[in-house]
Homo-oligomer: A and B are copies of this chain.
């Protein structure tokens, strides 16, 4: 009973073993993560087009709910860059930024996303995330990083601009360039430069000076806090807000409020598809972070339970003034590196952020938007890793096509269409590949019972026997190919008495393929040639036995290809490699 329950509520497992040492480790991690999260939460809320406090609220209750229901020991849940961009893109289509309807739509989006994730988790449908191939994810993340950085340029320049695609964003910035505010630009450029320097150089510099690793690490992560404090003081001290520098302004001092999403049917319908997209992308990002960190400590995460943890976190965000959340890479890595041992670290972070929400919000009044934009730009440009283009180009043109199309379409059409097109393209490419399978004519490797391609290996063959190894499952997209290929091969064969289809690589024969095999068999009967199968796998054989094909088969089914060879090879000839064409 307790076991059953603790499967769905993992907190019951780790809380039993909690002690002073774990507490102290979790506490240290929480302090570090809290310091890092305050500016980050404000920044991501700005990216999502929401008031700054939404970012902080979205980090409090969701973290606690994930600590109860999630399976990763180190994952830190909250607003992340890509999901914030997707949120802005989705809500921007149903409400005007800055209105009450916009914030309410964000709650609805979080609610739908939470509900969808919970449903996937309860029905164990986490495999749906597998439709996003690694190249599509990599391409999408890189393109999103570029879009996010571009979307923040307006804050650095102090102009107003909009747009959902790269050309739109750039066009909008250029059109409004006359609004350029030089003080804002100065702050933005300085902050960006400072943060880049910290990220690329500070750690190495500190280490050279003999600082311990942990200190060097933490100082690097605390960089944004320094930038925030310095620029806030500058704006306050020199009255820069009067010179047109846009600032965060009033942020309410409050606990996360209890909020109710907008449940109007039209809004639910409009946000359903974006919510599904956000859920799946958030889940994929989160699980890959969680699995990477778990592997380092030989722990495991359970993807279906992760869906429940993330679902609960998003529902929490929906009812406490937040917006869609997921497990973030940067914050989780900081949490892990700082020594977090259990999800309790997350709960302590939540407490830290609550204190910040109540006590520290007046301090960010003079914080310039340009500084927040700088922290976002520096964070997301780390995501833009275009080396995937080169890697996939070397390995497989199909994978390269999927990456390149995802990048181009995400930049050119926006995030939703980009990722949807990426998924569609990778599925179509896969179907295309299997529609023209590799078929090898095989012969016996001398001195063994092993059969290989006559074009690649020195093998024995027999002129009365044609053995074809079909390197693909037989299903509807390639049945016509199979019929034509066999017909083609047989017209060539003089003196041919037996054809063996070696089924070692045939993992499935669907109904369309069954009909094709019947028609191939029929044709060979008419020509007086025997059709045989070898090395048919158990599951394929089980199914064929349920059809009439086996009764009608004009030949036998052999356990191994060697058995078929022994039965038919009457005049074996050993030969050189027939040709050296690669890939046939």
Interchain CB contact under 8 A, B546 and A394: yes
Q: Which of A118-141 contact B (CB under 8 A)?
A: 127, 129-136
**A440: B residues at CB distance < 8 A:** 537-538
Which of B136, B392, B450 is close to A562, meaning CB atoms less than 8 Å apart? B450
In the complex the two chains form, what is the Cα distance from A481 to B126 in whole Å? 11
Flag whether A507 is at the interface (Cβ < 8 A). Answer: yes
Flag whether A57 is at the interface (Cβ < 8 A). Answer: no
Shortest Cβ gap from A557 to chain B (Å): 14
In the complex the two chains form, what is the Cα distance from A133 to B475 in whole Å? 8
**A452: B residues at CB distance < 8 A:** 559
How many monomers of this chain does the complex have? 2
Q: Mark A295-314, 1 if CB is under 8 A from B, else 0.
A: 10000100100000000000
Flag whether A431 is at the interface (Cβ < 8 A). Answer: yes
Q: Mark A258-278, 1 if CB is under 8 A from B, else 0.
A: 000000000000000000000
**A96: B residues at CB distance < 8 A:** none
Shortest Cβ gap from A534 to chain B (Å): 10
Q: Mark A487-530, 1 if CB is under 8 A from B, else 0.
A: 10000000000000000111110111011000100010000000
Which of B436, B481, B507, B543 is close to A395, meaning CB atoms less than 8 Å apart? B543
Interchain CB contact under 8 A, B559 and A135: no
Interface SS of A by simple majority: helix
In the complex the two chains form, what is the Cα distance from A2 to B305 in whole Å? 68
Shortest Cβ gap from A508 to chain B (Å): 7
Interchain CB contact under 8 A, B134 and A476: yes
Interchain CB contact under 8 A, B508 and A507: no
Flag whether A349 is at the interface (Cβ < 8 A). Answer: no
Flag whether A472 is at the interface (Cβ < 8 A). Answer: yes
Q: Which residue of B lies closest to A426 (CB)?
A: B476
Q: Mark A91-122, 1 if CB is under 8 A from B, else 0.
A: 00000000000000000000000000000000
Q: Which residue of B lies closest to A477 (CB)?
A: B130
Which of B130, B134, B477, B480 is close to A511, meaning CB atoms less than 8 Å apart? B134
Flag whether A539 is at the interface (Cβ < 8 A). Answer: yes
In the complex the two chains form, what is the Cα distance from A511 to B547 in whole Å? 37
In the complex the two chains form, what is the Cα distance from A538 to B579 in whole Å? 14
Interchain CB contact under 8 A, A395 and B547: yes
**A232: B residues at CB distance < 8 A:** none
Q: Can you list 12 contacts pairing A with B, beta carbon distance less than 8 Å?
A: A127-B480, A129-B480, A130-B478, A395-B511, A395-B514, A430-B431, A440-B538, A448-B560, A505-B537, A538-B583, A539-B583, A542-B583
The 5 A-B residue pairs whose C-beta atoms are closest, nearest first, are A133-B476, A399-B511, A134-B512, A449-B449, A450-B560
Interface of A toward B, CB cutoff 8 Å = 127, 129-136, 295, 300, 303, 391-392, 394-396, 398-399, 426-427, 430-438, 440, 445, 448-450, 452-453, 456, 471-473, 475-481, 487, 504-508, 510-512, 514-515, 519, 523, 537-539, 542-543, 546-547, 559-560, 562, 582-583
**Other contacts beyond A398-B510, A430-B475, A449-B450: 7, CB < 8 A:** A127-B436, A130-B477, A130-B478, A131-B476, A134-B515, A396-B511, A538-B583
